[in-house]
Amino acid sequence: MEFSATQIAQLLEGIVEGDASASVSGLSKIEEGKAGSLSFLSNPKYESYIYTTGSSICIVNDSFHPTKPLPSTLTLIKVKDAYACFAKLLSVYQASMRKAPGIEQPCFIDPTATVGKDVYIGAFVYIGANAQIGDGCAIYPNTHIGQGTKIGSNTTLFSGVQVYDNMHIGSHCIIHAGVVIGSDGFGFAPNEQGVFDKVPQIGNVIIEDFVEIGANSTIDRATMGSTRIKTGVKIDNLCQIAHNVEVGEHTALAAQVGIAGSAKLGKHIMVGGQTGISGHLHIADGTKIVAQSGIPSTVKEADTLMGTPAIPINDFKRSFIGFRKLPEMMRELSQLRKEINELKANKS
């Protein structure tokens, strides 16, 4: 599919500088641009590439002014925010690559299940009794959707997603390959013999609208009630969210974050990769947590935290400076002890 500079500019409300009839059929990074591809420049760090790129069209900020001659084959489209506009184009491109509606065979759809209009269902999909699949959904091959599960409209489940019984997934969600939704929470109680007895997990998971969950992440069902992922939450690959956790609106979790049971995260929180969050605590709206931090207790006010246990980032930086100086300080202390012992020996 080809698009002209004029068509792209109209979509992005931009201004064309160069050949308005120039066309592109693919996307590329500016440093790897080639004829017929579209690139973008938003970070000044990469400006040097625009003077050598082979791309046919490049989206730039309207504040960009070349300091060298541009390639004669390059057409610019100037917009207010080049990065945001390129992201918009990526969404349009992705939508054009969407699977056509239809049901591949073999697959199993229980007669009591409800499947909406314009739905794609791949081969070897299982949809259980009384499940509900909304309009415009895409269910890729080898996905399991348990009985009683409800999925809203225009949600995509990629290959190998496993959704247990009675889960709720909202509209416009993206669930990547290998995600498990509704596995049992890690609930065990030691008996008198010190043997762990399993605590039945009878709750579910509720995922609201516009949530994206990265590959191979797991979200456990609640012991009772619901584990809840609220609107607009973004979860990276390989994250673990335990039973009865609540993640507030538009919070983002990077890869390998682990959240223990019954923790409550507020809105607009950002959590760096490999962070561990203890159970039964609350984290204030707007908190930012640096990668590889540990959160052992409630965070009452928004701050940027770092370390294990996590402390305000400026305190951590000052502490780390002291930590780096420890070898030098230990040598000085050893020297002082030696001098003190010599003074004591001379005095006696």
Q: Beta-strand (E) ranges in 126-179?
A: 126-127, 132-133, 138-139, 144-145, 150-151, 156-157, 162-163, 168-169, 174-175
pLDDT at 97 over 80: no
> Does residue 23 share a domain with residue 136?
no
Q: Considering the chain, what is the average pLDDT of its residues? A: 95
Percent over 70 (pLDDT), the chain: 100
What residue spans of the chain are helical by DSSP H? 5-12, 47-50, 82-96, 313-324, 326-347
- Can you give the C-alpha Rg of the chain in angstroms? 27
The per-residue pLDDT for 228 is 98
Confidence of residue 348 (pLDDT cuts 50, 70, 90): low
- Asked which of 96, 116, 145 is the last residue of a domain, the reply is 96
Contact 241, 222 (CB under 8 A): no
Q: Which of 257, 162, 243 is nearest to 198 (CA)?
A: 243
> Does residue 175 share a domain with residue 146?
yes
> Does residue 122 share a domain with residue 8?
no
Q: Which of 88, 70, 68 is nearest to 30 (CA)?
A: 70
Mean pLDDT along residues 30-58: 95
> Does residue 185 share a domain with residue 107?
yes
pLDDT at 95 over 80: no
> Does residue 109 share a domain with residue 91?
no
At a CB cut-off of 8 Å and minimum separation 6, what does 309 contact? 294, 295, 296, 297
The per-residue pLDDT for 2 is 86
Q: Which DSSP string corresponds to 24-35?
A: ESEE--GGG--T
Domain limits for position 80: 3-96
CATH number at residue 260: 2.160.10.10
Q: Does a cis peptide bond (omega within 30 degrees of 0) precede residue 71? A: no
Mean pLDDT along residues 92-119: 92
Backbone dihedral region for residue 94 (phi beyond 0: left; psi -120 to 50: alpha; all else: beta): alpha
The model's pLDDT over 249-284, given as tens digits with 9 standing for 90+, comes to 999 999 999 999 999 999 999 999 999 999 999 999
pLDDT at 22 over 80: yes
The model's pLDDT over 138-177, given as tens digits with 9 standing for 90+, comes to 999 999 999 999 999 999 999 999 999 999 999 999 999 9
Q: How many CB atoms lie within 10 A of CB 125?
A: 24
- Per-position b or e across 11-30, b if 16+ CB within 10 A of its CB: ebebebbbbeebbbeeebeb
Percent over 90 (pLDDT), the chain: 87
Give catalytic residue positions.
243
Q: How many CB atoms lie within 10 A of CB 283?
A: 24
Place of tokens 């223990």: 260
> Does residue 283 share a domain with residue 147?
yes
> Does residue 294 share a domain with residue 162?
yes
Mean pLDDT along residues 104-132: 98
- Asked which of 96, 131, 158 is the last residue of a domain, the reply is 96
What residue spans of 67-139 are helical by DSSP H? 82-96
pLDDT at 195 over 70: yes
Mean pLDDT along residues 101-111: 97
> Does residue 194 share a domain with residue 127?
yes
Q: Is 335 helix (H, G, I), strand (E, B) or coil?
A: helix
The model's pLDDT over 233-250, given as tens digits with 9 standing for 90+, comes to 999 999 999 999 999 999
> Does residue 238 share a domain with residue 150?
yes
Question: pTM here?
Answer: 0.84
> Does residue 280 share a domain with residue 166?
yes
> Does residue 342 share a domain with residue 298?
no
Structural domains of the chain, count: 3
Contact 19, 75 (CB under 8 A): yes
The per-residue pLDDT for 305 is 97
> Does residue 230 share a domain with residue 146?
yes
pLDDT at 194 over 90: yes
CATH number at residue 66: 3.40.1390.10
Mean pLDDT along residues 22-37: 94
The per-residue pLDDT for 208 is 98
- Hey, what are 90's tokens? 């990526």
